[in-house]
Amino acid sequence: MMGGVYALIAVGLTLIFGVMNVVNFAHGEFVMLGMVLTYLLHHYLGWDPGVSILFVIPIMLGVGALIQKTLISRVIGKPDEAQILLTLALSVLLANAVLLFMGPDYLTVKTPYKLSVVALGPIVFLVPRLIAFIVGLTFSWVLWLFLNRTNLGKGLRAVAEKPEVATLMGINPKRMHWLAFGIGISLAAGAGSVLTPFFYTFPSVGGMFVLIAFVVVVLGGMGNIPGAILGALVIGITESLTAQFLALDLAMLGVFIIFVLVLVFKPSGILGKGKLY
């Protein structure tokens, strides 16, 4: 079930890389911001995470466009070191800002279905994880439809493939960059929303998910959205099986073994690099 959440985080990361050729090391902090916003909406307004996500995604879309315009745009086309240092600095800034205002405590969102289960024959699903899985794959599918069936999505793909040719065709790459970064981090924040019913919210939680997101993206192929979805499901299954048959605290062992094998034998990923379709 976690594979669906990983897919939602990873497709945002791979979209940003595919369109802008920027590796966003602050991506996990936007997952954390989504969790924090969902917690605040639940704590003060009593909103369910399923309702909060409809508010969190548009807000973070705007925040992402603003961050791209004011910060990320300054390092596009610059050496990789500049991009890495800027996104790492943004990661540290966001985590410590939340730590300052929210404190270091582990926060939880209590929903009526938090401990509910659904049985399908001998298989038992925890309802919050099942919802997160369905939401994650649904939003990933909607993104795929957006990129392939709309003119705006085709514009993003054009900028990802040949920005110079896209410019000649009347597409503004800067606007496409705003849109790509906004969509990418809004999907990460949406993943944070569906995580809150079964995962603690705290300032450094993003670091756990950005690491997995990078593994998923490399496994599927940098800039390849179908590859990110496939990679996320593979990682989710691997993590679960490792925890089941070895030990819970070794859940990530199988994930990193797969990661190393991919880097050694097929560094371009399962489906190759740079395809947003």
Average pLDDT, integer, range 86-94: 96
Structure confidence at residue 69 (pLDDT): 93
Q: Answer yes or no: is pLDDT of 98 > 80.
A: yes
Q: Answer yes or no: is pLDDT of 275 > 80.
A: no
Split at pLDDT 50, 70, 90, the class of 276 is: low
How far is residue 220 from each of residues 6, 216, 227, measured CA to CA in Å?
Answer: 12, 6, 4
Q: Answer yes or no: is pLDDT of 32 > 90.
A: yes
Please provide the average confidence, as pLDDT, over all residues in the chain. Answer: 90
Domain locations along the chain: 2-206
Structure-model confidence comparison of residues 130 and 272, the more confident one: 130
Split at pLDDT 50, 70, 90, the class of 240 is: confident
pLDDT digits (tens, 9 = 90+) for 102-137: 999 999 999 998 888 988 888 888 999 999 999 999
Distance from C-alpha of 251 to C-alpha of 236, rounded to nearest angstrom: 10
Q: Answer yes or no: is pLDDT of 268 > 90.
A: no
